[in-house]
Amino acid sequence: MGPGRWLRSVIWWLPAGIAITDTIVSVLPVEGSSMAPTLNPDGDEQWPDMVLVEKVSYKWLHKYQRGDVAVFWAPDEPRQQLVKRIIALEHDLVWDSEQHKPLKIPQGRCWVEGDNAEASGDSRNMYGPVHLGLLEGRVTHVVWPPRRWGEVARWYPADKLIVEDAGPGGHGAGK
């Protein structure tokens, strides 16, 4: 294949690649230790975890689940993506450990926290409830480095969530 033909192929397939990574699936490096030990457990900045981010369930189906490790746009920095765990969804009652009181999550928002509380800026200490429209996708697997390859577990600390809203208009465990 000559250079001209190769360039035409790249130009032809580039929009499809962009559409796929924007709306279906992408790979993202995770920086920092806010999600340790789930992500970057060794604190190795030279070889940070690369994760697979599934986007269909958030962008198209609007199916958010407690315990998901979510990628979202930082509320205070529109060009920065963050990775945190969803602890509570709209209408849930969550324990706000910074204010030492329960907090009801407003409609259209969720509560996110890093697994490593000491190293995480999240809903507790920076953003409060995060708008669901900022959610970009769900981390499903670590794909790099090879020794860390595997599925990312969905769970949340039971002591954080006080009441799940499962009534009419609420999400229960399935939305």
User: Please, are residues 111 and 88 in contact by the beta-carbon 8 Å criterion?
Assistant: yes
Give catalytic residues, as residue numbers.
34, 84
DSSP E strand boundaries for the chain: 25-29, 50-54, 69-74, 77-89, 93-96, 101-104, 109-113, 130-131, 135-144, 150-151, 161-163
Per the structure block, which two tokens stand in for 106? 């407003």
Place of tokens 């958010």: 64
CA–CA distance, 87 with 93 (Å, rounded to integer): 10
